[in-house]
Amino acid sequence: MKKIFVLTVAFIAGFAMVANAGSISTGQTAKCNDAKSITLETAGAASTSSDKFGYSNNDRGNANLSLWKSSNFTTVPITLGPDDNNDSVNGTDGGRTGLPQRGGMGKNKVTLVGQNNFSRGDSIGDISGLVKITNTGLNPVTVTCN
């Protein structure tokens, strides 16, 4: 009797950890099956700290995801960093290097679009079949399967 109870609880807990698109929190998984595109978006909450370095308890709004693709059995990590700045420092050098400023702020949203006829089987563009998106970060992420 105890085994049946434990198996039932494990099944319900496992089912509760899986969603079909929508918003997923830390440790939850969403599924997209044969989607033409998959949109991943984090709210990008502002830093909640007055610390001069911008440290916060919400990872500065960043989202970390892991995508598993059944088409080629590969896992691809994706990070959305809306509050991360990757500007090159030569924008503030007064033009001495002669190089243009590059970079910018990170993005809070990305759309993966399925690609046909590519040569590498491990491409992120292969979103055919089942794609499982797991939230490995601190902030919730909205997953939309189109």
Per-residue pLDDT tens over the stretch 101-121:
777 777 889 999 887 765 555
Label the pairing between strands 22-24 and 141-145: antiparallel
- Give me the pLDDT at residue 138, please: 86
- Residue extents of the structural domains in the chain: 18-44+59-145
Q: How would you class 24 by CB atoms within 10 Å of its CB: exposed for 0-12, middle for 13-18, buried for 19 or more?
A: buried
Average pLDDT, the chain: 76
- Give me the pLDDT at residue 84, please: 72
- Give me the pLDDT at residue 16, please: 41
Confidence (pTM): 0.69
Angle at 140 between CA 138 and CA 145, to 5 degrees: 135
Is residue 142 very low, low, confident or very high in pLDDT (cuts 50, 70, 90)? very high
Angle at 141 between CA 78 and CA 34, to 5 degrees: 70
- Looking at CATH, the fold of the domain delimited by 18-44+59-145 is given as Jelly Rolls (2.60.120)
Work out the average pLDDT over 44-53: 61
Kindly list the distances between the CA atom of residue 116 and the CA atoms of 32, 67, 68, 77, 125, in Å, as whole numbers in the listed order.
Answer: 17, 19, 18, 21, 8
